[in-house]
Structure 1
């Protein structure tokens, strides 16, 4: 991989982090990120653009640590039922949102 690709990945990560801080809602961010991942993985992108989007932008934008922190706060309150419901709900909704993004992208082409 060329040095320019690393610079593009760093810039995409910076932009994603900035957007994540301005939105400041983990659930909404995860749904947007899942939709966009599904939308872009259905496209025939070059290797460099795919790595820039997936490794740079989406990995920083959807940030797994935000998801884990949200679940940790629920678990720390001792509410196991709420933890199990949110854990499953977030994963299922994100998978369907990603599938919907993939489907929309395929319908557009």
Structure 2
């Protein structure tokens, strides 16, 4: 990877982290990120742009740790039914949102 691309990945990660501070809701961030990933997956992008977007921006914006921390708090409360419902709901909603982003991107182009 060229040094310029590495710097762009770092800048994209910084921007994503900065945006994450303004949206202080893991579920909303997850929905927005899933839609955007679905939207950009359908585009023909160069490898360097894919690395910048997916490794830099989206990996920091939709961090998996936010999702896990949310589920961990529910798990610690001992509410198994709520834990299972939220776990499945988050995965299903994010997959559906990603598909919608993919579908809308295909309709636009």
Partner Cα separation in structure 2 for residue 73 and residue 37 of structure 1: 27
| 1:96, distance to aligned residue in structure 2 (A) | 0.5
Stretches of structure 2 that go unaligned for 5 or more consecutive residues are none
Partner Cα separation in structure 1 for residue 48 and residue 80 of structure 2: 42
Stretches of structure 1 that go unaligned for 5 or more consecutive residues are none
Partner Cα separation in structure 1 for residue 19 and residue 70 of structure 2: 18
Q: Summarize the alignment of residues 3-14 of structure 1 with structure 2, pairs less than 5 Å apart.
A: 3-14=3-14
| 1:60, distance to aligned residue in structure 2 (A) | 0.2
Aligned residues: 109
Does residue 28 in structure 1 map to residue 28 in structure 2? yes
Post-superposition Cα deviations, 1:47-71, rounded to whole Å, max 9, x if no partner, equal 1001100000000000000000000
TM-score, scaled relative to structure 2: 0.99
